[in-house]
Structure 1
Amino acid sequence: MVKYEWRKAEKELYLPKTTPMYVEVPAFNFLTLKGQGDPNRTAFKEQIAALYSLAYAIRMKLKNQGFEYTVYSLEGLWTLPTAPIIPGQFDKADLQYQIMIRQPQQATKMDLVEVLEKVRIKKPNQYLDQVNWETIADGAAVQILHVGPYDTESESFAKLDGFCKEHQLERKNHLHREIYLSDARRVVPEKRKTVLRYSV
């Protein structure tokens, strides 16, 4: 059985450089969960745990059927009710988000339905029933690899904004995507790698 490694097979989407680039992102299926508030609070960690519990359960189900893969990284779509007056300065309690874990094309919504009850028993979590199966396409987008703390992401977003201005691209909306390539529990802030992307 050959293990599918998305980091190697989909480098353009998940391992960009630290300079801005344009990319076309097709539609993918995701396990998703919506929320609002500071991502440093306990509830956010529990929401992440719910997503991962289901993602690993689906992975094991597909492995037993002959397809093995590495679980995709956590991702998040982030926005604010209104744009901050000063870029990068806002109250984290106002953040609105949709966190998600991409699923391989071999997985289906029925897989989620089938593993949900088992996960409820094995790993109880109040957010399990809030997890949805959604198809999302970023389409035309710009992205960059941000290396460092989450609180310095505004520096990388400034580079993306400059790239858009230079290439006559207009941001589609206030949403932006973050793909967390590093485990924040194990990697020091200065070395964390995060893909930042927004649609244009």
Structure 2
Amino acid sequence: MNKFEWRKQCKDLYLPKNKPVKIDIPAMCYFTIEGSGNPNSEKFNEAIESLYSLSYAIRMMPKKGITPEGYYEYTVFPLEGFWDLDKEGRTLDYLSKDNLVYKLMIRQPEFVTNELLDYAVKSVKSKKPNLLCLDKVKFEIIEEGLCVQAMHLGSYDDEPQTFNLMQQFCVENNLNRLEKTHKEIYISDARKTTPDKLKTVLRFKVKQS
């Protein structure tokens, strides 16, 4: 099998156009971690580092002499996150980043299991003992189902413009948004990309009315 690369094999999931589309998202495996508060915090950065460290520990297992059943060559998937607001945040007429609630995640290949997560946690702990949130990472299978998504180009602060386009798409196609929670998939590395060049997939669940 050729190396699985999400940028090539999963363009519909990760590289949509900037025009909204309807898409049915199947069940997939993820490493996830939950948190709350400002995403500019050290706690948030540690959560991201934990997810990436564990994902790469799985990816590099064959180089350690361990090849899990069903293993194949692949590119590590991008960071994703479900975003919501806590009770106080929902009462405000402006966005307070301190009131954000999130579940960050990185998709895993189908051969990954809870046992492999345990292996990855032990492996990363031996190298990075100061990563205290490793034990908070879970293995989950998540099925998002029917969604509307679009590629947002530019700063995270300008996302409402793309959400407005997505909402208009829903009106025109007899779709109802199911919840305030939305997903973001970070195609660009914010540490190396200027805000105006950022690419972020925005997605929320819908049902046909």
Q: Same fold (TM over 0.5)?
A: yes
Where does residue 142 of structure 2 map in the other structure?
Answer: 136
The CA deviation at 1:121 is 1.0
The alignment partner of 2:120 has SS state of helix
- 1:188 maps to 2:184: no
Which whole-Å deviations, capped at 9, do the CAs of 1:97-133 have from their partners, x for residues lacking one? 0000000112222111112111111122011000000
> Aligned match of 1:95 in 100, 108, 118?
100
* CA distance, structure 2, for counterparts of residue 78 and residue 92 of structure 1: 11
Which whole-Å deviations, capped at 9, do the CAs of 1:138-174 have from their partners, x for residues lacking one? 1000000000000000000000011011111111111
Q: How many residues align?
A: 198
Which whole-Å deviations, capped at 9, do the CAs of 1:49-86 have from their partners, x for residues lacking one? 01111000011125752521100000000011354665
The alignment partner of 2:139 has SS state of strand
Could you state the TM-score of these two structures normalised by the residue count of structure 1?
0.94
* CA distance, structure 1, for counterparts of residue 14 and residue 99 of structure 2: 28
* Identity in percent: 46
* CA distance, structure 1, for counterparts of residue 144 and residue 99 of structure 2: 23
Segments of structure 1 that go 5 or more residues without pairing to the other structure are none
* CA distance, structure 2, for counterparts of residue 39 and residue 108 of structure 1: 28
* CA distance, structure 1, for counterparts of residue 145 and residue 134 of structure 2: 29
Q: How does 1:45-194 map to 2 (within 5 A)?
A: 45-61=45-61, 65=67, 67-82=72-87, 83=90, 86=93, 89-124=94-129, 125-194=131-200
* CA distance, structure 1, for counterparts of residue 97 and residue 156 of structure 2: 12
